[in-house]
Amino acid sequence: MDIWKHGSFLDAWSLVHVLSGFFLGLLCYSLGLSLVLSVACTLIALILWEVYEWMLGILETPANVATDIVLGMMGAGVAVYLYFILEKSVPGEILLLLFSFMILLSLWGFLDQYKNGYR
């Protein structure tokens, strides 16, 4: 079983989407955007990413696309809850570790998809 092949709902990319949503939410917070604007911008960015994938010829089921967006928004929800609601911050070392993990997972997935010719 190949973990990077797109599943009906969840696949290995799911974790990347959660982390991406978290970092998009964090970016919006860092830019000083309001809670509502942060959520809206994150949602728009996640949707635009799915459109970009489609333009590249990466074909996913509608359920998988919707799940990717929902998972990204769940990640953003964690960022919103931590930063806007609790007014807590995550230590920089942990953010760096999570961001590095997200980048490494993404690279692994892209390389595997390229090697196996998945679309």
What sign has the CA pseudo-torsion 34, 31, 77, 45? positive
Q: pLDDT at position 1, please?
A: 45
Residue 119: pLDDT band with limits 50, 70, 90: low
Residue 7 domain flag? no
Residue 63 domain flag? yes
Instruction: Give the burial class of 8: count Cβ atoms within 10 A of its Cβ; 0-12 exposed, 13-18 middle, 19 or more buried.
Output: exposed
Mean pLDDT of the 3-11 span? 66
Closest to 64 in 3D by CA, of 114, 104, 4: 4
Range of the domain at 80: 13-116
The DSSP secondary structure of 31-99, one letter per residue, reads TT--HHHHHHHHHHHHHHHHHHHHHTT----HHHHHHHHHHHHHHHHHHHIIIIIS-----HHHHHHHH
Instruction: For residues 5 and 1, give the distance between their C-alpha atoms in angstroms, rounded to a whole number.
Output: 9
CB atoms near residue 14 (< 10 Å) = 18
Report the b/e string of 80-109 with b at 16+ CB within 10 A.
bebbeeeeeeeeeeeeeeeeeebeebeeeb
Residue 97: pLDDT band with limits 50, 70, 90: very high
Domain count within the chain: 1
Residue 8 domain flag? no
Q: pLDDT at position 5, please?
A: 63
Residue 6 domain flag? no
Residue 86 domain flag? yes
Residue 1 domain flag? no
Pair 26, 77: CB distance under 8 Å? no
Residue 38 domain flag? yes
Q: pLDDT at position 61, please?
A: 87
Residue 3 domain flag? no
